[in-house]
């Protein structure tokens, strides 16, 4: 179950969010608060997965509450009628930001994302070496929409700064994670680390040819991308597709 705390000074707003959340069988509303001070008191007594919090409230507003609640493990989701606070909210590592009136499909995207995070944490508690199966879904953002992308549909993971770009049949999205953490969850029989910045799905490679540099290789993916293989990884790739390795 996903345990939820609702924080809003308006009773009708709390009532409406409760009505929307009751449609999710795995969501339990464990408490409500009228301002940030009450919410902090509640979090000191119980563990909560998600806190849906308004921004403009008396006593302590949502942004101040989020600052003081950063040590908690709860996901902070801001629910407000004012979109101009979004930058400040995400600067506080907000899990998400919903503009009122809250739509059911927008709320569902948040719940799905929280489910995946909780599932991932549960997997990590069981074993850090457990590979993600092909039918495992990742909730990825494409523009303003969220889509569930299966591991089997992912062509490439590319390290870009502090993020990882994910290329799939649905398009390009990003994960706020390091490539090394992604690599630990991928089956080496399914994915090949082409370089420090690229991991490719083996069965989505369409052609391999000699690279410009002597001894290097260039991989053509079935989505049209071309990816260089580092010289250190060339022999490993040749081994994967050798006759001896096949039989």
- Give a yes or no: residue 204 inside a domain: yes
Q: How many domains does the chain have?
A: 2
CA dist 64 and 182 (Å) reads 33
CATH number at residue 114: 3.40.50.2300
State both tokens at 69: 């609640």
Same domain, 86 and 153: no
Single residue among 95, 121, 147 that ends a domain in this structure: 121
pLDDT in tens, 54-95: 988 888 888 889 888 877 778 999 988 877 667 666 666 788
Other CB atoms within 10 A of residue 40 CB: 17
Same domain, 235 and 154: yes
b/e 68-80 (16+ beta carbons within 10 angstroms → b): ebeeeebbbbbbb
| Structure-model confidence comparison of residues 117 and 229, the more confident one | 229
pLDDT band at residue 47 using 50, 70 and 90 as cut-offs: confident
The confidence score (pLDDT) of residue 32 equals 96
Query: Average pLDDT of the chain?
Result: 86
Q: For residue 44, is it within any domain?
A: yes
Residues 107 and 208 in one domain: no
Find the domain containing 197 and state its range.
137-246
In a domain, residue 41? The reply is yes
Distance (Å, rounded) from C-alpha 205 to C-alpha 226?
Answer: 10
Tell me if 114 is assigned to some domain.
yes
Digit-coded pLDDT (tens) for 105-122: 999 999 999 988 887 665
Give residue for tokens 């609702």. Answer: 6
pTM recorded for the entire structure? 0.50
| 156 within a domain of the structure (yes/no) | yes
108 phi and psi angles, rounded to 5 deg: -60, -35
Q: What per-residue confidence (pLDDT) applies to 16?
A: 96
The verdict on 93 and 203 lying in the same domain is no
Domain match, 60 and 142 both: no
CATH of the domain at 225: 2.40.50.1020
Identify whether 214 is part of a domain: yes
What's residue 122's pLDDT? 58
């Amino acid at each position: 179950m996903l345990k939820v705390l609702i924080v809003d000074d308006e009773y009708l707003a709390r009532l409406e969010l409760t009505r929307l959340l009751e449609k999710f069988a795995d969501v339990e509303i464990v408490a409500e608060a009228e301002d940030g001070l009450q919410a902090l008191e509640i979090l000191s007594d119980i563990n909560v997965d998600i806190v849906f919090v308004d921004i403009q409230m008396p006593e302590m507003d949502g942004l101040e509450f989020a600052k003081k609640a950063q040590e908690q493990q709860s996901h902070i989701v801001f629910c407000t009628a004012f979109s101009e606070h979004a930058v400040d909210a995400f600067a506080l590592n907000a899990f998400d930001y919903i503009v009122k009136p809250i739509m059911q499909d927008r709320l569902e995207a948040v719940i799905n994302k929280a489910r995946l995070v909780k599932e991932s944490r549960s997997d990590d508690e069981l074993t850090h070496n457990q590979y993600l199966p092909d039918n495992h879904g990742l909730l990825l953002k494409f523009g303003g929409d969220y889509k569930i992308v299966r591991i089997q549909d992912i062509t490439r993971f590319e390290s870009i700064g502090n993020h990882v770009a994910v290329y799939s049949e649905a398009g390009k999205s990003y994960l706020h994670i390091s490539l090394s953490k992604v690599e630990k969850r991928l089956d080496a029989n399914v994915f090949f680390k082409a370089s420090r910045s690229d991991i490719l799905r083996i069965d989505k490679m369409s052609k391999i040819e000699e690279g410009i540099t002597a001894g290097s290789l260039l991989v053509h993916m079935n989505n049209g991308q071309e990816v260089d293989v580092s010289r250190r990884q060339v022999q490993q790739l040749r081994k994967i597709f050798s006759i001896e390795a096949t039989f």
